[in-house]
Amino acid sequence: MPFRYRMLVIISIVVLALDQATKFYIDSRFKLFESLTVVENFFNITYVRNKGAAFGIFANSAFRVPFFIGVSLLASLGILWYLRRLRREQRLLATALSLIFAGAVGNLIDRIRLGEVIDFLDAHWYQYHWPAFNVADSAITVGVGLLLIDLWREERRKKI
């Protein structure tokens, strides 16, 4: 099995298991909006539900659930299509796309199951809070970061 597919399977299993297990734990042990301080003035576990996208975009829109399910499905299919086209040496890109895919599927499961996404990681600096996020969001963010590094490295290779 080529590296790109091994990475997709391994990363998807790990990210989806961790994402769904942590969401199940938070949903079963915390009340909505309950918060537990982990690092004073920096990090909390806070149970929230996000009906929208990042930063609550489209949270009150009537078409939000079918829209987000459709976008997640299209993005996932697009990633799978693109993954097929990678060259053997594009390992970092395969890893990046696998992380983005797994994160998209993790949040897609919530949207299909609940119509919204469970978030609970609450990073902040005193009263200045970043929107709460989850393991799937983290996988997407790391994947996008790796994708940017790969694009930068590819550009450098072209110049040499």
Residue by residue, pLDDT tens for the chain (160 residues) are 899 999 999 999 999 999 999 999 999 999 999 999 999 999 999 999 998 776 566 666 767 788 889 999 999 999 999 999 999 999 999 999 999 999 999 999 999 999 999 999 999 999 999 999 999 999 999 999 999 999 999 888 888 7
Query: Which residue in 19, 110, 122, 137 is the catalytic one?
Result: 137
Q: Is 137 a catalytic residue?
A: yes
- Residue 156: the pLDDT is 87
What pLDDT is recorded for position 159? 83
CA 156 – CA 160 distance, rounded (Å): 7
pLDDT of residue 54: 64
| Contact status, residue 49 vs residue 118, Cβ threshold 8 Å | yes
What is the pLDDT at residue 67? 86
3-state secondary structure of 47: strand
Q: What is the CB neighbour count within 10 angstroms for residue 109?
A: 17
Lookup result for tokens 């890893």: 95
Q: Tokens 């975009």 belong to which residue?
A: 57
The two tokens of residue 154 are 């590819």
Contact indicator for 90, 98 with CB cutoff of 8 Å: no
Cβ atoms of 51 and 63 closer than 8 Å: no
3-class SS at 117? strand
If you search the block for the tokens 């997640």, which residue do you land on? 72
Options 19, 119, 122, 150, the catalytic residue = 119
Secondary structure (3-state) at 152: helix
Q: Is 122 a catalytic residue?
A: no
